[in-house]
Structure 1
Amino acid sequence: MKVYISADIEGIAGIAHWDEANRTHPAYPEFREEMTREVVAACEGAAAVGATDILIKDAHSSGRNILVAELPEYARIVRGWSGHPYSMIQELDESFDALVLIGYHSRAGAESNPLAHTMSLKVAEMRINGQPASEFMLQTYAAATYGVPVAFVSGDEGLCADVKKVNEKIGTFAISRGVGHSTISVSPARALRGIREGVSAALQEDLGAKKIRLPNAFTLEIKFSDPVQAYKASFYPGATHKGDRVIAFETGDFLDVMRAVKFTLRD
Structure 2
Amino acid sequence: MRIIINFDLEGVTGVVLETEQTGRSERFYEQSRVLSTGDINAVARGAVKAGVDEVYLIDSHAGWGQNLIFEKLEEEIRYLNGRSASRPVSVMSEVYQSCDAIFLVGLHPMRGTHRGVIEHTFLPPINVLRVNGVPMGEIGINAAIAGHFGVPIAFLSGCNKAVEESKAHFGDIETVEVKKGLGRTSAILLPPTISSKLLEESANRAVKRIKDFKPFEIKEPTTIEIEFQHTGMADAAEMTPFSKRVDGLTLKFEGPFLEAYKALQSMIRHASSQR
- Pick aligned residue for 1:194 from 190, 198, 220: 198
SS in 1 for 2:112: coil
- Pick aligned residue for 1:156 from 155, 159, 162: 159
| CA–CA separation in structure 2 for the residues paired with 1:91 and 1:172 | 26
Deviation string, structure 1 residues 19-59 (Cα, Å, up to 9, x no partner): 20111011111111000000001110110011111111111
- Residue 254 of structure 2 aligns with an amino acid whose one-letter code is E
- Residue 98 of structure 2 aligns with an amino acid whose one-letter code is S
Q: Which residue of 1 aligns with 2:243?
A: 239
* 2:21 equivalent to 1:17: no
| CA–CA separation in structure 1 for the residues paired with 2:127 and 2:217 | 27
Deviation string, structure 1 residues 139-188 (Cα, Å, up to 9, x no partner): 10100111111110001111111111112122111122222331222222
- Pick aligned residue for 2:224 from 201, 220, 227: 220
| CA–CA separation in structure 2 for the residues paired with 1:90 and 1:210 | 18
* More off after superposition, 239-248 vs 111-120: 111-120
1:109-124 pair list within 5 angstroms: 109-124=112-127
SS in 1 for 2:151: coil
SS in 1 for 2:213: helix
1:82 Cα deviation after fit: 4.7
* Paired residues of 2:121 and 2:137 also in contact (CA < 8 A): yes
Structure 1 residues 59, 82: closer, same or farther in 2, change over 3 A?
closer
The percentage of counterpart residues that share the same residue type is 27
SS in 2 for 1:113: coil
Structure 2, unaligned stretches of length 5 or more?
none
1:105 Cα deviation after fit: 0.4
1:7 Cα deviation after fit: 0.8
* Paired residues of 2:65 and 2:84 also in contact (CA < 8 A): no
Structure 1 residues 91, 81: closer, same or farther in 2, change over 3 A?
farther
| CA–CA separation in structure 1 for the residues paired with 2:37 and 2:208 | 24
* More off after superposition, 91-100 vs 52-61: 91-100
* 2:272 equivalent to 1:259: no
* Paired residues of 2:60 and 2:84 also in contact (CA < 8 A): no
1:189 Cα deviation after fit: 1.6
Structure 1 residues 57, 206: closer, same or farther in 2, change over 3 A?
closer
SS in 2 for 1:219: strand
- The aligned length equals 265
* Paired residues of 1:150 and 1:170 also in contact (CA < 8 A): yes
1:70 Cα deviation after fit: 0.8
SS in 2 for 1:11: coil
SS in 2 for 1:210: coil
| CA–CA separation in structure 1 for the residues paired with 2:47 and 2:89 | 23
* Paired residues of 1:109 and 1:117 also in contact (CA < 8 A): yes
1:216 Cα deviation after fit: 2.3
| CA–CA separation in structure 2 for the residues paired with 1:150 and 1:233 | 30
| CA–CA separation in structure 2 for the residues paired with 1:8 and 1:90 | 20
1:1-267 pair list within 5 angstroms: 1-18=1-18, 19-61=20-62, 62-83=64-85, 84=87, 92-180=95-183, 181-251=185-255, 253-266=256-269, 267=273
CA RMSD for the aligned pairs? 1.8
